[in-house]
Amino acid sequence: MDQAAPIPTVPVSVPPALRARVGGRSKVTAAGRTIRELIDALDQQFPGLRFNLCYETGELRPYVNIFLGHENIRYLQGLDTPLSPGTTVAILPSVAGG
Amino acid sequence: MFRRSEYPQGSVLLVVGTKRGLFLISSVDRQSWNIQGPMLKGHRTFYGILDQRKGARLFAADNGDFFGPFLRYSDDFGANWHEPEHGLQFPEQSGEKLAAIWTIEPGRQAEPDVVYAGVDPASLWISTDGGLNWELNAGLATHPTRARWEPGAGGLCLHSIVPDYANASRIWVAISAVGCLRSDDAGKTWTFANKNVRADFLPVKYPEFGQCVHRLIQHPRRPEILYQQNHCGIYKSTNSGDDWTDIQHNLPSEFGFPIALDPHHPETLYVVVEDAEARQNVGEQFTVYRSDNAGEQWERLTNGLPAGTGVGLGVLRHALCTDIKDPCGVYVGTTTGQLFASSDQGDGWRLIAEYLPSIYSLTAAVLM
């Protein structure tokens, strides 16, 4: 009988604007099969972080980018992008503003 | 850094919300001003206000840039900021998304734990524990006409909240571009209060709703009297908003954003009407307009305000206020970061800050 694959734990880079939320750290770790699950896990650790990243309706805020390695998840499967062991995730704000 | 001792009793504290953070500007004599900030550095801070009903709690509408709008509060004049336990977030099933927090209004003196907030998309939020937990007012959120509410250029914003100090069950709100609504049952149900207010941009000039009210205030001694600055005029109601009278009279424009009054002489009103196309002063003189007779006649206040070729200053709806001293101070902030102050009801003005970020809001407190 196959055993269920363990849920990967991945490192997540946090931009300066959100480090106060995560105790001042530039990197945190959390577990999830997808980016969506990862965000949920991060929100459990750091309440309020989901609202920093996503609207109440669940979609990613327009100026928030999440990278899986070097790939922006917007060009993968979005919040349903799967995670695997050894991957890295980075949260980055868009180069925008004025 | 920001200690209570820096803000002695009796001093005037201006809470200045700007495009790039919050500033506290204070004075013991309204002549020499001390600028602290920016706090919430870099964040679009639409509104800030000091609530002194129980201590000195500073509230800020921090709309950030990328990572979501948050209502924040500080009990030490901005040294440390906190988030509510349950803040302003719509239920997922509502389908609504918080775009921006526009105003935070401390409730009645007799209800010191009640605080209100107005947001885009137009909704009223209420806290009954001093801002720690917030609930969405269902009556307004489920108004039967809500699906037909259209935004103004700045969004579908609930920007003015007026809890009637004389009637604990009555409250008004003002929304761009929906108009004024009144509740007489503590927010359970809401009716429009827009009779005789023009909407020149609509096919029906006097609709039931759809007016673009920019700011709403209440007379401090006669609760049935309200004033509004509208996209299409300046209005007065003498019957709690049942209907309105145009008080533009000799003002050079119907268009402007803010309106304020002298709390000790409430028939004295202040507006900053603008060229509606350019969104800046009419002509080349930056002008605050004052009426000493509740809008029957307006005079131009220009002593100490800039004039000349190229002078074109704009003032947003929350960027004009008065203090409660007598004679009252009057304060106006521009979208180009200039802050002007008068300590004599507007007779004379001084530039007290000139390089702030774009000013979104001004509130004044006299420290207790």
C-alpha B344/C-alpha B31 separation (Å) is 11
Average per-residue pLDDT in chain B? 97
- Name the band, by pLDDT with cuts 50, 70 and 90, for residue B171: very high
Domain boundaries along the sequence of chain A? 9-93
The chain A residue lying nearest B358, using CA atoms, is A98
* pLDDT for position B45: 98
Predicted TM-score (pTM) above 0.90: yes
- Name the band, by pLDDT with cuts 50, 70 and 90, for residue A97: low
Whether A47 has its CB under 8 Å from any CB of chain B: the answer is: no
Q: Which residues of B touch A19 (CB under 8 A)?
A: none
**What one-character DSSP code corresponds to residue A10?**
E
pLDDT at position B183 over 60: yes
The chain A residue lying nearest B90, using CA atoms, is A56
Can you say whether the dihedral through the CA atoms of B81, B82, B88, B93 is positive or negative? positive
* pLDDT for position B40: 97
> Quick one: tokens of A91?
């949260």
Asked if A93 and B66 come within 8 Å (Cβ–Cβ), the reply is yes
Asked if the B4-366 domain carries CATH number 3.30.70.20, the reply is no
Q: Which residues of A touch B68 (CB under 8 A)?
A: 51-53, 61
The chain B residue lying nearest A63, using CA atoms, is B66
Q: What is the CATH number of domain A9-93?
A: 3.10.20.30
* Distance of residue A1 Cα from the nearest chain B Cα, in angstroms: 39
> Quick one: tokens of A7?
């849920």
Residue B78 near residue B152, CB atoms below 8 Å: no
Q: Which residues of A touch B65 (CB under 8 A)?
A: 63, 93, 96-97
Q: Which of A56, A61, A97 sits opposite B89 (nearest CB)?
A: A56
Question: In angstroms, what is the C-alpha Rg of chain A?
Answer: 13
> Quick one: tokens of A35?
């980016």
pLDDT at position B141 over 70: yes
Tens-digit pLDDT profile for residues A25-57: 999 999 999 999 999 999 999 999 999 999 999
Tell me, what amino acid is at B187?
Answer: G
pLDDT at position A4 over 80: no
Asked if A52 and B96 come within 8 Å (Cβ–Cβ), the reply is no
pLDDT at position B315 over 60: yes
Interface of B with A in 71-90 (CB under 8 A): 83, 87, 89-90
Q: Strand pairing partners for A29?
A: A11
* Distance of residue A85 Cα from the nearest chain B Cα, in angstroms: 28
* Distance of residue B363 Cα from the nearest chain A Cα, in angstroms: 25
Q: Which residues of A touch B20 (CB under 8 A)?
A: none
- Name the band, by pLDDT with cuts 50, 70 and 90, for residue B335: very high
Closest listed residue to residue B257, CA positions, set B281, B230, B284: B230
- CB contact set of B232 (below 8 Å; sequence gap of 6+): B197, B198, B199, B200, B201, B211, B212, B254, B255
Burial of residue B313 (CB within 10 Å: 0-12, 13-18, 19+) is buried
Tens-digit pLDDT profile for residues B34-91: 999 999 999 999 999 999 999 999 999 999 989 999 999 999 999 999 999 999 999 9
Q: Which residues of A touch B92 (CB under 8 A)?
A: 56-58
Task: Determine the average pLDDT of the residues in B104-113.
Answer: 98
- CB contact set of B90 (below 8 Å; sequence gap of 6+): A56, B96, B97, B98, B123, B136
ipTM of model: 0.90
* Distance of residue B279 Cα from the nearest chain A Cα, in angstroms: 20
Q: Which of B67, B89, B98 sits opposite A64 (nearest CB)?
A: B67
Q: Which residues of A touch B93 (CB under 8 A)?
A: none
**SS3 state of residue A96:** coil
- Mutant choice from A21, A22, A51 vs B, greatest count of B C-beta within 10 A: A51
Residue keyed to tokens 């000799």: B250
Task: Label each residue of chain B as H, E or C.
Answer: CCCHHHCCCCCEEEEEEECCEEEEEEECCCCCCEEEEEECCCCCEEEEEEECCCCCEEEEEECCCCCCCEEEEECCCCCCCECCCECCCCCHHHCCCCCEEEEEEECCCCCCCCEEEEEECCEEEEECCCCCECEECHHHHCCCCHHHCCCECCECEEEEEEECCCCCCCEEEEEECCEEEEECCCCCCCEECCCCCCCCCCCCCCCCCCCCEEEEEECCCCCCCEEEEECCEEEEECCCCCCCEECCCCCCCCCEEEEEEECCEEEEEEEEECECCCCECCCCECCEEEECCCCCCCEEECCCCCECCCCCCCCCCECEEECCCCCCCEEEECCCCCEEEECCCCCCCEEEECCCCCEEEEEEEECC
Percent of chain A whose pLDDT exceeds 90? 89
Whether A51 has its CB under 8 Å from any CB of chain B: the answer is: yes
pLDDT at position B5 over 80: no
Q: Which residues of B touch A58 (CB under 8 A)?
A: 92
Q: How many beta-carbon pairs below 8 A join chains A and B? A: 44
